[in-house]
A = this chain, B = another copy of it.
Amino acid sequence: MNVLIVHAHNEPQSFSTALYQLAEETLRGQGHEVQVSDLYAMNWNPVASAADFGARANPEYLVYALEQREGAKARTIAADIQAELDKLLWADLVIFNFPIYWFSAPAILKGWFDRVLVSGICYGGKRFYDQGGLAGKKALVSVTLGGRDHMFGDGAIHGPLEDMLRPILRGTLAYTGMSVLPPFVAWHVPYISNEARQDFLRQYQDRLQNLENDQPLEFVRLEQFDERLYPLPR
């Protein structure tokens, strides 16, 4: 497999960094090709703006998705976006590795989604969910957070973590057609012992060595909806 790891943590010695490095090493050890986009190290620009387009389909009024579509086609899209898009299209598996900020991704990673998942290639028209442009690829979200396991789930104070991650798991990764594996979650990381961290690393390595057995999460399929995207009777 070709594997892209997109990593977003502002402390190079963090446990999150240890997770991505373990993934890189484990997957390379299995004979896979691995590329890493370490967004902080790359000084990645997360702001979707007019500056992302070397030529404009409409110079008077910016419709970001339209310019993405045209810019990606003509290859006039910003070089930093094109480089990430090339890695994404090369990959069979994409791992998003980050600490949870506000029950979501840090802005630097949100801006990777905003800028790299270009309209016309990753989605567009009726090409979304199971028909998305990235169908055939797998996505794995690997996160660290401060909260404890029992604070998430039905009836728990924050509800299920998957519900909080819905815009990413369903609205972004599944939307572009990727098969989304269940997230790997390391709980309460800032407060736990070194042994507990080693346990998470062992669990993660075990996940990584058995990814082919992972059942992707289930989401809607376009065949369940009519032409105007109203639900069909079951």
Bound together, the chains give a CA A47 to CA B10 distance in angstroms of 9
Q: Binary interface profile of A, 103-146, with partner B (CB < 8 Å = 1, else 0)?
A: 11111101101100100000000000100000000000000001
Q: In the complex, how many angstroms separate the beta carbon of A47 from the nearest chain B beta carbon?
A: 5
Does any Cβ of B come within 8 Å of A1's Cβ? no
**Are B229 and A107 in contact (CB-based, < 8 A)?**
no
Q: Closest residue to A101 on the B side, CB-wise?
A: B114
Cβ-closest chain B residue relative to A151: B229
Interface residue ranges, A against B (CB under 8 Å): 10-11, 13, 40, 46-50, 61-65, 101-108, 110-111, 113-114, 117, 129, 146, 148, 150-151, 155-159, 163-168, 170-172, 175, 190, 220, 225, 228-231
A19 to chain B, nearest CB (A): 16
Q: Which listed residue (B40, B106, B117) contacts A114, Cβ 8 A?
A: B106
- Report how far A16 CA is from B13 CA in the complex, Å: 40
A175 to B228, CA, bound (A): 37
Instruction: For A129, give the chain B residue with the smallest CB separation.
Output: B157
B46 with A172: CB separation less than 8 A: no
Q: Provide a sorted-by-A list of 24 A–B residue pairs whose CB atoms are within 8 angstroms.
A: A10-B47, A10-B49, A10-B64, A11-B63, A46-B111, A48-B101, A101-B114, A102-B114, A102-B117, A102-B172, A102-B175, A103-B167, A104-B167, A105-B110, A106-B110, A107-B108, A148-B229, A150-B228, A151-B229, A157-B220, A157-B225, A159-B170, A163-B166, A164-B166
Contact status B62-A10, CB under 8 Å? yes
Residues from chain B with a CB closer than 8 A to the CB of A167 are: 102-104, 164-167
Q: A10-B47, A107-B110 given. 13 additional CB < 8 A pairs?
A: A10-B48, A10-B64, A11-B63, A46-B108, A48-B107, A101-B114, A102-B110, A103-B170, A104-B168, A106-B114, A157-B229, A157-B231, A159-B166
Which residues does chain B contribute within 8 Å of A114, judged by CB atoms? 101-102, 106-107
Closest chain B CB from A152 CB (angstroms): 10
* B residues in contact with A163, CB < 8 Å: 163, 166
Q: How far is the CA of A216 from the CA of B158 in the complex (A)?
A: 18
